[in-house]
Structure 1
């Protein structure tokens, strides 16, 4: 498979992953979280990441087979020699953009989790101040019983 075809595949998959991350971001920023939909997004992200890794591995093998050095410098030289340097640079830019989106979504998830933990802590704090004991009696009644004994 030619280098330009592999780069087209990578760009296509990066585009799909970017759209998926944007969808995830909309979900995370919305007022109500749809857990099932986020789970579907997570599964699709995993599938796309695996396919991107597969395409990148094939690209690196082709690069090596053609005698280019491994790594970014060899990839750049291979793309330049194949006449697809602009496509290579566009792929790198897409990958960087996708990574930034993924990082931002990770921070949003972390923020949501932190907020949820704060809410749970507050609920537990309020529950501890309840006037009812676990058996349904008022806590003030229990205190009177224990002081009269």
Structure 2
């Protein structure tokens, strides 16, 4: 398998991952969260990340077999020698863009979780003031009101 072909494969998978991350971001920013859809996105992201890792492992193994060292400089030299330096640079740019999207979505998830936690805390505070317990029975405060009347 040529380096050019591996890089094109990486770009295809990065493109698919980027589209998924964009869909995830839209979902996280919307007023209504579709949990099953987010779960589907998470599973597909995991599958794509596994494929990307496999392709990267193959690329690295071929690079070493051809006598190039490890690291970015060696990879760039291998791409230059294989005549696909432009594709290598495009792949790096795509990977950086995808990483930024993923990081942004992580921040959105944390913000959503913090908001949900605040809402649950608020609901619990309100529920504690209720005259009824979770099982529907009158609380001791309500019973005291009934006996004093």
Q: TM-score, normalised by structure 1?
A: 0.92
Match of 1:73 in 2: 73
Match of 2:105 in 1: 105
Distance of 1:14 and 1:67 partners within structure 2: 27
SS at match of 1:27: helix
Distance of 1:42 and 1:142 partners within structure 2: 49
How far is 1:136 from its partner?
3.0
Distance of 2:87 and 2:137 partners within structure 1: 70
Question: Structure 1, residues 27-67: CA drift from partner, whole Å, max 9, x if none?
Answer: 11111110000000000000000000000011001100110
RMSD, aligned CA: 1.7
User: 2:131 touches 2:142 (CA, 8 Å); kept in 1?
Assistant: no
Match of 1:128 in 2: 128
Match of 1:87 in 2: 87
**Which aligned segments of 4 or more residues in structure 1 are displaced greater than 4 angstroms?**
138-141, 144-147
Distance of 1:144 and 1:20 partners within structure 2: 57
Match of 1:31 in 2: 31
How far is 1:71 from its partner?
1.1
Distance of 1:48 and 1:67 partners within structure 2: 29
How far is 1:83 from its partner?
1.0
Match of 1:50 in 2: 50
How far is 1:132 from its partner?
2.8
Query: CA distance change for structure 1 residues 88 and 146 in 2, over 3 Å: closer, same or farther?
Result: same
Distance of 2:14 and 2:142 partners within structure 1: 65
Which ranges in structure 2 are unaligned for 5 or more consecutive residues? none
How far is 1:138 from its partner?
6.1
SS at match of 2:109: helix
Which ranges in structure 1 are unaligned for 5 or more consecutive residues? none
